[in-house]
Chain A
Amino acid sequence: MTDAHAAVARAHRDEWARVVAGLTRRFGDLDVAEEAAAEAFATAVQRWPSDGVPPNPGAWLTTTANRKAIDRIRRESKRDDKHKEARTVFDDDPPAPVGAIDDDRLRLIFTCCHPALAMQTRVALTLRMLGGLTVPEIARAFLVQETAMERRITRAKAKIKAAGIPYRVPSAADLPGRLSGVLAVLFLVFNEGYLATGPGTDPVRQDLTAEAIRLTRLIRALLPDDGEVAGLLALMLLTEARRTARVSADGELVPLAEQDRGSWDATLIAEGHRLVRERLAAAAAGTAPGRYQILAAINAVHTSARDIRDTDWSQVVALYDQLVRLDPSPIVALNRAIAVAELDGPDVALASINTLAEKLADYHAYHATRADLLRRLGRSQQSREAYDKAIALAGNTAETAYLTRRRNQLH
């Protein structure tokens, strides 16, 4: 890659969201913003290798994209008078105000993650508008046909416009609820990367985990005082740190207890621990932690142990108890049981998950957990049946490989 091409790639990573967000504010139209931004980057690809990389790539891209947008609006305003207003407003438009909460990207995030849009649509729109992923890339990530993904994004943009979904950071009263919706979108992107589903997909999609972390970092920069944003970032970093240790060379899932802890990413762990400590200090000062902060703290306990035997399981169970009070969902109860098995034994854990049978009947991790507990209790026949169910339900190739080997090892 030439220097110019590297500069375009870097600018795309650093400036895409800012350019799209600024254009959206100026022109009040996501379609115009997206297309003009894409055209500006395409122009950079053509021009920078011969003209040289501009001293301020972000400013160059913004100016170029603005011109592209005006060209398009002028073209269309000949056919359609409605766009004249937008052109008039543009002529007087001042530069975007600087300052965290005024950042256009924050507006863009809340628009893309609006609760009036379907969850899958929020994910797609966020990856396109904020992440700068192309439609084919997003379609591939979620195993959807390109044309279907294109339609989904087009329909979403049309709904935003027709229904009057605002381009605005929600009011202070609505902010916590709306922000938790944004974090749910990012967590979903991360999890799809971390436990990619579907035959023929890589077991871990690093493009998605990296993108989720990058966008969460962006939100952290925009809302530095929010505990759940810090919690989610820490959770992602501490999970990502174990990524390479989590799948063996043969493509099999490696459970936490068997991972090579030396291959965990120490830099990511250090950053994650720093964030968790920051949140612990806030909790000590009286701010009740939310679910992402608690999950991050659980992961901090795991990543602090040099060996699985050094794990402070009573601390892990105590954190899960705290999480259960906040989120009494069966999945949290299941994860708590896995820690209980280490602290009080597999029989206690098994008894605690029996009540979840009905609610989690279709959840592969329920059957995988039961299979493991039954195996440790020497109940091979029942364990085998549970492994069979888990294998039938698991969508991740590495997980299926691991469960199959475990089942075949039963006596």
Chain B
Amino acid sequence: MTGAADTVLHTMGGDRAMRYLVSVIDDKDNPGSADRVPAIGEFNKRLMAEGHWVFAGGLAATDAATVVDNRGEQAVFSDGPFLESKEYLAGVWVWEAPDLDVALALAAEASRICDRKLEVRPFL
């Protein structure tokens, strides 16, 4: 009991495994290298083997986005991204990890592997 209780409480979030959205941020002025797909594939295999992998996906260019707003009387569709910015979301991962330290250690590796900046954000 002691051991179990300790493990549980050492994560402030409680006893659940945490889920994190890991956003891959690219920069139009200074893009990361384009040859990272094989390395990312290898990394994904490792995430699966270690039980962290939930989902991964690269995103098409922001030109391919459509914004939908149906809060008014009729749905309005508009061409292009929600926000026009130098930095944009290039892909996402969803990881499971016992705590932020584990997620940050993985993210530090992932950032190097995919040659881009990452944002690690917990799900509620």
Contact = CB atoms under 8 A, between A and B. Distances in A.
Contact of A164 (B5, B8, B9, B99): B99
A28 interface: yes
Given A92-B1, A93-B5, A94-B2, A163 B122 contact: yes
Size band of the A side of the interface? 20 to 34
A27 to B, nearest CB: 8
Contacts of B14: 28, 82, 85
Nearest to B6: A25
A170 B100 CA distance: 12
Contacts of A85: 14-15
A85 B122 CA distance: 21
Contacts of A405: none
B32 interface: no
B2 to A, nearest CB: 5
Contacts of A114: 100
B103 interface: yes
A163 B100 contact: yes
B11 to A, nearest CB: 5
B85 to A, nearest CB: 23
B1, B5, B12: which has the most chain A beta carbons within 10 Å?
B12
A166 B9 contact: no
Task: Name which of B8, B9, B98, B124 has the most chain A CB atoms within 10 A of its CB.
Answer: B9
A82 B14 CA distance: 9
Interface string A67-92: 00000000000000010010001001
Interface in B96-124: 97-101, 103-104, 120-122, 124
B20 to A, nearest CB: 8
Contact of B101 (A25, A26, A94, A166): A166
B9 A161 contact: no
Interface residues of B, number: 24
B12 A28 contact: yes
B95 to A, nearest CB: 11
Contacts of B97: 164
Contacts of A161: 12-13
Interface string B1-28: 1100110111111110010000000000
A92 B5 contact: yes
Contacts of B120: 163
B100 A28 contact: no
Contact of B11 (A82, A92, A167): A167
Given A28-B8, A89-B8, A116-B100, A164 B2 contact: no
A406 interface: no
Interface string A110-144: 01001110000000000000000000000000000
Given A115-B104, A164-B99, 5 more contacts: A28-B9, A163-B13, A163-B100, A164-B100, A168-B99
The 4 closest A-B pairs by CB, nearest first: A166-B99, A164-B18, A164-B13, A28-B9
